[in-house]
Structure 1
Amino acid sequence: MHVNGSIAVVTGANRGIGRALVEALLAGGASVVYATARRPETVEDLVARDHRVRPLRLDVTDPEQVTRAARVASDATLLINNGGSLGFADPLTGDLATIEVDLRTNFIGTLSATRAFVPVIERNGGGAIVTMLSLVVFGAVPAMSGYSAAKAAAASATQALRAQLLDRKISVHGVFPGAVDTDMIRGMAMPKATPSSVATAILDGVEAGAENIFPDPMAQAGHQAWRADPAAFERRMGSM
């Protein structure tokens, strides 16, 4: 999959990694970037900067909006599932509604968008689907139980989709970042990668055909630690 000449859809494009992905796609020569957000006015500055950016209203938890987005972006060849939510709730005492929001957004919403765009991308001759997952797939963080569970479910779906789409000219890529300096974890004190460096690494990984992308130093070190001793890595993440 080549970024140059691609027609991309980025969910959650109004801030953080999503916004950085839009900018990286433009820098890489994408022909069109559909920048989706629950409130399209939040990406108007991107539209003003580059005529290739097209704002598109999309809440991935709203089936009607998902269907409409796939109809509007009918020329898409690349879907980047970036939109998500992060609520803090532990599995024993945390608010179940908070956990449900994370599952509905990060798993069901992501899967819904993917299901809508697979036939679009296939009709356009193939392309790629990229899903933002997380290092928590390999070791859950108790305080983020809904997020951890949702990302693990999305990772499983990514594997299943990869098998299903193998012969349909659609590559499927899972992205497992560590800590990134975005609004979601702004209050957490730890080393963080910049959204722009993560976005660049993601697109480099897609162009290289990497099925699993670890786009920052924490992600790379965490994956190596998990491979060396999965139980120890689980304990480490569980103590956060």
Structure 2
Amino acid sequence: MDISKQVVLISGANRGFGKQLALELLARGAKVYAGARNPESIDLPGAIPIKLDITKPDSVKSASETAKDVTLLINNAGTSTGASLLTGSLDDIQLEFDTHVFGTLTMIRSFTPVIEKNGGGTILNILSVLSWLNVGSGGAYSTAKAAAWGMTNALRLELAPMNIKVTGLHVAFMDTDMTAGNNSPKSDPKDIAKITIDGIESDLYEIIADELSQKIQQGLAGGVSALYPQLQK
């Protein structure tokens, strides 16, 4: 894929990783629609701000009717409530699924006809190493991301006949507002943005962006004992 010839819509592009993706795409010559619930918060010279709340179907529909030339959809918008599946607020758990699963699916269902009409293209879902691994606390986020991974795999098969590639990015913690209270090692989102766009340009189905994600992916074959050694005590 020649990125300079793509028309891109990014959800959650007003800050964090979404903003870095937009900057990288703009630098490579792509046309970029930058989606956010408050488009006035978007500070991306050269990008086209677009009002978008992926948890509201009417907002998604409006965005798909405005951005009719999209060939690359990046589902980046996310939330992280920190909710435990056992003790967390059900409203918080619902929000995780409404965003990472149902919101992302609504985006894909709305933009698939757009991308197909434009001759095909790519959909990138921003997943996480936590779609493969749960750390105990914040289980709602990990579970929603795991569902998003399953959805990504299913839609790869459904959309391939339409000449639409579905790509997933797996990455551990990045230094963004969302991880401000987390003391784990973090990647620079600028670096991950470059790796991500390189992966799209290389037509990869799966982009494994850092060492931890690579390690956890390899550990999947080992099952529960490999991923959760603490349970073997």
User: Shared fold (TM-score greater than 0.5)?
Assistant: yes
Measured in 2, the distance between the counterparts of 1:183 and 1:55 equals 21
User: Which residue number corresponds to residue 171 of structure 1?
Assistant: 165
Judged with a 3 Å threshold, the aligned counterparts in structure 2 of structure 1 residues 233 and 38 are, in CA distance, closer, same or farther, namely: farther
- Which range is displaced more, 210-219 or 110-119? 210-219
- Return the offset for 1:156: 0.9
Write the letter of the residue equivalent to 1:9.
Answer: L
For residues 2-41 of structure 1, what are the structure 2 equivalents within 5 Å?
A: 2-30=2-30, 32-41=31-40
User: Which residue number corresponds to residue 86 of structure 2?
Assistant: 92
Write the letter of the residue equivalent to 1:35.
Answer: A
User: Which residue number corresponds to residue 159 of structure 1?
Assistant: 153
Cα shift readout 1:128-150 (whole Å, capped 9, x = no counterpart):
00000111111123222111111
* Matched residue SS, 1:190: coil
Question: Which of residues 123, 129, 139 in structure 2 aligns to 1:135?
Answer: 129
1:208 aligns with 2:205: no
- Return the offset for 1:88: 1.0
Q: What is the RMSD computed on CA atoms of the aligned residues?
A: 1.5
Judged with a 3 Å threshold, the aligned counterparts in structure 2 of structure 1 residues 206 and 7 are, in CA distance, closer, same or farther, namely: same
Question: Number of matched residues?
Answer: 231
Judged with a 3 Å threshold, the aligned counterparts in structure 2 of structure 1 residues 186 and 128 are, in CA distance, closer, same or farther, namely: same
Measured in 1, the distance between the counterparts of 2:162 and 2:175 equals 36
Judged with a 3 Å threshold, the aligned counterparts in structure 2 of structure 1 residues 237 and 102 are, in CA distance, closer, same or farther, namely: farther
* Matched residue SS, 1:89: coil
Write the letter of the residue equivalent to 1:81.
Answer: N
* Percent identical residues: 40
User: Which residue number corresponds to residue 83 of structure 1?
Assistant: 77
Measured in 1, the distance between the counterparts of 2:226 and 2:174 equals 19
Measured in 2, the distance between the counterparts of 1:187 and 1:41 equals 26
Write the letter of the residue equivalent to 2:199.
Answer: G
User: Which residue number corresponds to residue 108 of structure 1?
Assistant: 102
User: Which residue number corresponds to residue 231 of structure 1?
Assistant: 224
Which runs of 5 or more structure 2 residues have no equivalent in the other structure?
none
Write the letter of the residue equivalent to 1:27.
Answer: A
- Return the offset for 1:235: 1.3
Q: Give runs of ≥4 in structure 1 deviating > 6 Å.
A: none
Write the letter of the residue equivalent to 1:16.
Answer: G
Which runs of 5 or more structure 1 residues have no equivalent in the other structure?
none
Q: TM-score, normalised by structure 1?
A: 0.92
Measured in 1, the distance between the counterparts of 2:16 and 2:210 equals 15
- Which range is displaced more, 19-28 or 141-150? 141-150
Cα shift readout 1:145-194 (whole Å, capped 9, x = no counterpart):
11111111111111111001111111110111111111111111121111
Q: TM-score, normalised by structure 2?
A: 0.95
User: Which residue number corresponds to residue 63 of structure 1?
Assistant: 57
